[in-house]
Amino acid sequence: MSFVYSVFLPGLGREVWIEEINYKSYKDLVKSMYNKDDSSFILHSNRVIEQIAPGLLEGGLNIVDKIILLVNARSISVKPDLNVKCRCDKTGKEFEAAIELDNIFETLSNVECSNTIQHKNTTVKYSISKARDEVHFLEKEMENLYIYQLASCIDIVDTSTGTINFNNLDFKARCRAVENLPVQLTTAILKDIVNIETAISKYKLLLVKSPFTGLPVVDIDVSIDTAVLRGFLKLLFTDDLNNLYRLNFQLISILHFTGDYIETISPAEMYLYWSLHLQDSQKEEPASGKSFGGTPSDI
């Protein structure tokens, strides 16, 4: 059984136990960004969620909670900070900034994005868009944007005749259910979703300032816009694929790990094993007169 740890998800209002992300899932996610296909990236990021927290995605995990899980996955399973290369607009100079992922987690943990609304004999519980529906918002012709948004945001509809749990329905069935709701009700929900967006946009998801001018060069607010959050995730998982393959090759060819075993461990464990090998090699070098050289692959 893999190592597990707890993470608080504000959308669920409770802590959940999740596993480390393994090398195979991580490598496939990084690889998905190289073909510049958003649908591929969404698919693989959701596969990561299923690997580390089985069942949460289909249970109605919202997009902010998805970000929280992936921020934690990278912090625990890869590195606790994120190094980003930036360019100062005023000076044209480049610089590197280290971002502590724990700070992003703390910010997102304060986000409240659920509400309940009543209209006559109908009560609706809703939050924000669900991670499993993200691919539907890639459509270029978004004539049904509001229907899609409501179908993804609504969780439960209680009426005098019964209860509809939207999390148990596929996307098309949810869209049909939304079309049967009173216009006054759906209009009120959409207005409140805008209010939620306004409220959570006061939180900073990522802020990087130029060391030369003190002005922001990266400034991303917390958002319920799937495109904005997807852009942040791509920044979070922008790694050199060659380095990942090189580290995999080194562990197999030099340390004699099996490929199957490597795919089950986290990138952080791979990095640790290789670092320990280099430390031992450096100790042996003076006695043998041989130079082992090399540095750990930068993940």
Token readout for 30 is 């990084």
185 contacts: CB under 8 Å, gap ≥ 6: 117, 119, 122, 124
Quote the tokens at residue 141: 């012709």
Does one domain contain both 34 and 174? no
Question: How many secondary structure helices (H) and strands (E) does the chain include?
Answer: 11, 10
Q: Which residues contact 193 (CB under 8 A, 6 or more apart)?
A: 126, 128, 149, 153, 224
> How is residue 21 written in tokens?
């992300």
For residue 18, the 8-state DSSP code is E
Output Rg (C-alpha) for the chain, integer angstroms: 23
Q: What is the model's pLDDT at position 1?
A: 59
Q: pLDDT tens digit string along 176-229? A: 999 999 999 999 999 999 898 888 888 888 889 999 999 999 888 888 888 888
The average pLDDT across 276-282 equals 90
Give yes or no: residues 218 and 75 share one domain.
yes
pLDDT at 68 over 60: yes
Q: What is the pLDDT of residue 237?
A: 84
Same domain for 181 and 124, yes or no, is yes
The answer to whether position 237 is within a domain reads yes
pTM over cut 0.85: yes
The boundaries of the domain holding residue 128 are 115-200
What average pLDDT does this structure show over 275-281? 92
Integer Cα distance of 220 and 202 in angstroms: 10
For residue 36, what pLDDT is reported?
Answer: 77
For the beta carbon of residue 174, count every other beta carbon within 10 angstroms.
23
37 shares its domain with 104:
yes
Number of domains forming the structure of the chain: 2
Contacts of 283 (CB under 8 A, 6+ apart): none
Confidence grade of residue 297 (pLDDT, cut at 50, 70, 90): very low
Residue 271 is assigned to a structural domain of this protein: no
Tokens 């400034």: give the residue.
219
Confidence class for position 138, pLDDT limits 50, 70, 90: confident
**What is the pLDDT at residue 299?**
44
Say if residue 271's pLDDT is above 60: yes
